[in-house]
A = this chain, B = another copy of it.
Amino acid sequence: MTNGKRMLLGSFFQTFLGHHLAAWRYPETKTEEVTKLSLYKEIAEISEEGKFDFLFLADVLAHNEEDIAYTPQIRLEATTMAALASVTKDIGLVATLSTTFTHPYNVARQFATIDHLSGGRAAWNIVTTAHDHEAANFGLEEQLDHSLRYERADEFVQVTKKLWDSWEKDALLFDRENGIFLDEKKIHPIYHEGKYYKVRGPINIPRPPQGHPILVTASASEKGREFAAKHADILFTIAPSTVEEGKAVYNSIKQKVSAYGRNPEHFKIMPGIVPFVAKTEKEAREKFEQFQELILPQLGIGWLSRYVDHDLSQYSPDDHLPELKDVDQVNGEKGRFKLLSELAKERNYTIKELARYFVGTQGHLFIVGSGEQVADKLSEWFLNGAADGFNIKFPYFPGGVRDFVDHVIPVLQERGIVQTEYAGGNLRENLGLEYPVSQKLEV
């Protein structure tokens, strides 16, 4: 039924208390624990109980001041994943770090450290940092140009891979008898000199258990998808509205991967979905309406304006969306831009309607229904070749994870479509990805 493949599942968490913008007002959401380990530990434990492949921690380097009073925008930083490494056993740990405002030597060490301490469960979600208000925290008036960011990211990732390769995997000897700790011939400087970075190497941490930590990225732009096809193991996407479109996107990305001489089977495409799930469809719909009613009327248009890169406050909320920029001119997140502009046309939404849709889902496909119904929808995408799995964006924490694990996971497990136990290897092995061949660095 699944051609021997299984559906991958990511447990997306961020410190916004849920993927629905009004989640923090919902009575069962543990809002007061927004900065506490207890909440993240609970999310991690429920996710591991549900045999999710990984936890995914998003990050952004500034908040939007406009709506900060009404929408939680707190982001704990990537080190959070190390804290979860010691309270979990099998689940992968995806942390986000920007290539634009860090240095590859530091980032290579951070992920090598998490990979060692977690026994091979580290993954890096590579971002280039989209917004001007983030750049302002690093001395820039406005963000670097989109294509420049990706050029830099490309070299950055090359350097980190060289650093992880700078120790051969059998370099450590521990020969107490003769006093030889390691074989120094198996450790190599990298002597990298590129356009943006000059790094001698080697790193001062042994090769990570996975060889390289898993590389993840999320981008819908041409440059971003080229970058993903060249470097990444997993691509997060924003699901288009139909399976047919999803399939077209899926196939076009897999072709890009093949064009880089890589096996497309070892590249996983995972759209984000927002599930509102309960015992019955009726209960799920009621819950969804309860969430939508918690959205303050004044919210949404500001958020929407940023994502469509156009100030919508100058129009009446009952107007239709004005003519927008061409997607190539957008310097922010191109994926959401595209989805939102297309959706507005298709459904003939007014600004208010689109804003309401947007704040509830942040532009992601959402599914409201019973466990059976949500499982059907996910299975349909998976079995029709439109996704290798999904990045589940829970509407609220930790209850949204509980709902999914109680109602959806057992159905998918019964259908033999997701794992019922962890295979017991490291993350790379569990995902069925190849061990990376080490580059020859001797000069």
Contacts and interface: CB of A to CB of B under 8 A. Distances in A.
Nearest to A298: B179
A37 interface: yes
Interface in A289-305: 294, 296
The DSSP consensus for interface residues of chain A is loop
A381 B324 CA distance: 72
A435 interface: no
Given A25-B176, A76-B113, A86-B83, A204 B69 contact: no
B117 A70 contact: no
Contact of A137 (B83, B112, B200): B200
A105 B113 contact: no
A330 interface: no
Contacts of A102: 103, 106
A65 B25 CA distance: 56
Contacts of A82: 79-83
Contact of A136 (B139, B197, B200): B200
Contact of A85 (B37, B106, B296): B37
B181 A77 contact: no
A318 interface: no
B176 A24 contact: yes
A80 B117 contact: yes
Nearest to A73: B204
Interface in A110-124: 110, 112-114, 116-119
Interface string A25-38: 10100011011110
Interface in A60-98: 60-63, 65, 68-87
Given A37-B118, A86-B84, A184-B65, A205 B79 contact: no
A306 interface: no
A244 B242 CA distance: 80
Nearest to A196: B139
Nearest to A22: B179
Contacts of A22: 179
Interface of A: 22, 24-25, 27, 31-32, 34-37, 40-41, 60-63, 65, 68-87, 101-103, 105-106, 109-110, 112-114, 116-119, 133, 136-139, 172, 174, 176, 179-184, 187, 197-202, 204-206, 294, 296
